[in-house]
Amino acid sequence: MNKFLYKSGLAALALAAFLSSCKPEIDAPKASAGEANFERYVSLGNSLTAGFADGALYRGGQEVSYPNILAQQFKLVGGGEFRQPLLAEAVEASSPKINGSNIILDHRLKLASVTDCMGTSLSPVVSGSTTYTAQELFVKFAPTNQGPYNNLGVPGAKSFHLIAPNYGDPMGIFANPRTANPFFVRFAASPSVTILEQAMAQNPTFLSLWIGNNDVLGYATQGGDGDEIITPKANFEFAINQIINAMALKNVKGVIANIPDLTKAPFFTTVPYNGLVLKRQGQADSLKAAYRGAVNFKVGQNPFMVVEDGTVRPITSEELILLPASSAIKCQGLGSRTPIPDNLVLSKPEIDAIRNAVADYNEALKRLVDNANAAKPNSLAFVDAYSILNEIAGGISRNQVTYNTALVTGNIFSLDGLHFSPRGNAIVANEFIKAINEKYKSSIPTVNETNYNTVLFP
């Protein structure tokens, strides 16, 4: 019996060897740059490009910016060094607040155990703020490494800021109106240089551009009720055309992304319109009396009360409440007897204005990209970020992980509800890589997004 098993085993091994020799060899595509050259990659954009996250610019966020993730993959196909204007570990800055000759920088949001009117729960909290004089700021805020810098993402930048002179002039920070941006001042090659000029001075062989969110975001985050206006389409298109022309002049290939529907971000979707929950009929009757019978309330869920253009009314399901209203709603009863103010609400006409502007910008972007490719084939790859975010908003699953646009649990957005988590940046980088591979016949490997953090729990 042992002899039989021995012979049978040899026969089985021989058969296995024969069958394996007949299997076709399937090799993964060899990484290649295709028709592109990534030796000197430069990125242009705003806070999304800079690595801004959790309400602040900080080194940990910079290190997982989507351009830096891209650059590491480009190195596999001949890409060179990619420098970012890195902050010191201890420095974190949100949009700087000017107070006389002092500048206040907020620290980033973190999840922490917080005890408030509803008990103890995990909530995003600001870890603090620091006040600097202008001189102190530019010493502490200066990059910790030498340029020239490949990542030229500037938090707060709008499309036309990329071609604006003196945007990096320190004196312009204190001008009225302000003409400079502290985030660009910290690494501008000269006070007068434009961001585009600084990019082109490096003779890039490849360039990425993702700009335009801020052309409408300021208006949106002020509830359409502040001093920010939506950039006219003509101004936006002029700026983008200048950038594409500068690239064409130097035969620089690249990739351009369009603008997502920012009203799908958790900053605008986390607070439900009907979050006014009444547990007893007496509460409903008391509120109806407070509004002199003009509004009916019921036990259960009710629309929050808002004041818009001087009129107090229930919010509709088509309107949006901004994330900063959440704490006052929870602990101060905002939206009940005291209506939510204009600057924390986006009305239907304001939402329409935002979405129409995004549609206009995206039409211009696609047309200009198509024109560039018609004039010189394979000039620009295109990333449809608008469609990608819409898909994520509906819920997607990758590598057995579910993603959506919910705050914290959706795994895409950081705690500020506007900027991406490290994993969100990795997913964005992969979408850029897919577009580049398709346009330039390259085979740049994508990254495994699960190697990147989502929101960190304490």
What are 256-273's pLDDT values in tens digits?
999 999 999 999 999 999
Question: Distance (Å, rounded) from C-alpha 354 to C-alpha 20?
Answer: 60
Q: Write down the pLDDT at residue 121.
A: 84
Q: Across all residues in the chain, what is the average pLDDT?
A: 92
Q: What percent of the chain has pLDDT over 70?
A: 94
Residue 301 pLDDT > 70: yes
Residue 154's pLDDT is 98
- Please report the pLDDT score of residue 19 as a whole number: 40
pLDDT of residue 20: 44
| Distance separating alpha carbons of residues 137 and 174, to the nearest angstrom | 13
Residue 84 to residue 60: CA distance in whole angstroms: 12
329-342: average pLDDT = 96
Q: What are the structure tokens assigned to 410, written together? A: 């959706």
* Tens-place pLDDT, residues 404-445: 999 999 999 999 999 999 999 999 999 999 999 999 999 999
Cα-based distances in Å from 72 to 2, 63, 75, 135, 422: 57, 11, 5, 35, 15
Q: What is the pLDDT of residue 28?
A: 60
Instruction: Please tell me what DSSP assigns to residue 29.
Output: P
Residue 372 pLDDT level (bands cut at 50, 70, 90):
very high
Where do the structural domains in the chain lie, given as residue ranges? 41-91+135-268+348-451, 276-346
pLDDT digits (tens, 9 = 90+) for 87-133: 999 889 998 888 878 889 889 999 988 888 878 888 889 888 999 88
CATH number, span 41-91+135-268+348-451: 3.40.50.1110
| Alpha carbons 442 and 458: distance in angstroms, whole number | 41
pLDDT digits (tens, 9 = 90+) for 167-209: 999 999 888 888 999 999 999 999 999 999 999 999 999 999 9
Q: What is the pLDDT of residues 67-91, one digit of tens each?
A: 999 999 999 999 999 999 999 998 8
